[in-house]
Amino acid sequence: MGCHIVEMGYLDIVFLGTGTSQGVPIIGCDCEVCCSNDKKDHRLRSSLLITSDKGTRICIDAGPDFRYQMLREKVDYLDAILVTHSHRDHVGGLDEVRAFNYLQECSMPVYANIQALEGIKSEYAYAFAYPRYPGLPQFDLNEVGVRQKDSPIRIKELEIIPVEVMHYKLPCLAYRVGGFAYITDAKTISEEEKKKLKGVTCLVVNALRREDHFSHFTLREALDLIDEIQPEQAYLTHISHYLGLHEQVNGQLPQGVCLAYDGMRLRIDL
What pLDDT is recorded for position 1?
Answer: 46
Q: Which of 142, 132, 140, 76 is nearest to 108 (CA)?
A: 140
Q: 237, 181, 228: which is closest to 207 by C-alpha? A: 237
How many angstroms from the chain centroid is the CA of residue 259?
Answer: 15
Instruction: Look at residue 8 in the predicted model and tell me its pLDDT.
Output: 75
State how far the Cα of 160 lies from the Cα of 46, in Å rounded to an integer.
Answer: 19
Q: Is residue 113 part of a domain?
A: yes
- How many domains, in total, are found in the chain? 1
Closest to 235 in 3D by CA, of 252, 256, 217 = 256
Q: Does any domain span residue 17?
A: yes
Is there a domain that residue 4 lies in? no
**Upstream peptide bond of 131 is cis (omega within 30 degrees of 0):** yes
Which pLDDT score is estimated for 7? Answer: 62
Beta strands 57-60 and 47-52 are: antiparallel
Residue 3 belongs to some domain of the structure: no
Alpha helices in the chain (DSSP H): 66-72, 88-91, 97-104, 114-123, 125-128, 191-194, 219-229, 246-252
Domain span at residue 28 reads 10-269
CA distance 204 to 259: 10
CATH code for the domain in which residue 196 is found? 3.60.15.10
For the chain, what percentages of helix, strand and coil (3-state, to nearest 5) are there?
A: 25, 30, 45
pTM: 0.96
Which DSSP category does 113 fall into? -
Q: Which residues on neighbouring strands pair with residue 177, listed in sequence order?
A: 160, 180
Is residue 129 a part of any domain in this protein?
Answer: yes
* 42, part of any domain: yes
Q: Please give the average pLDDT of every successive group of 10 residues along the chain, which has 270 residues.
A: 62 98 98 98 98 98 98 98 98 98 98 98 96 94 89 96 97 98 98 96 98 98 98 98 98 98 96
Contacts of 182 (CB under 8 A, 6+ apart): 48, 60, 174, 175, 176, 204
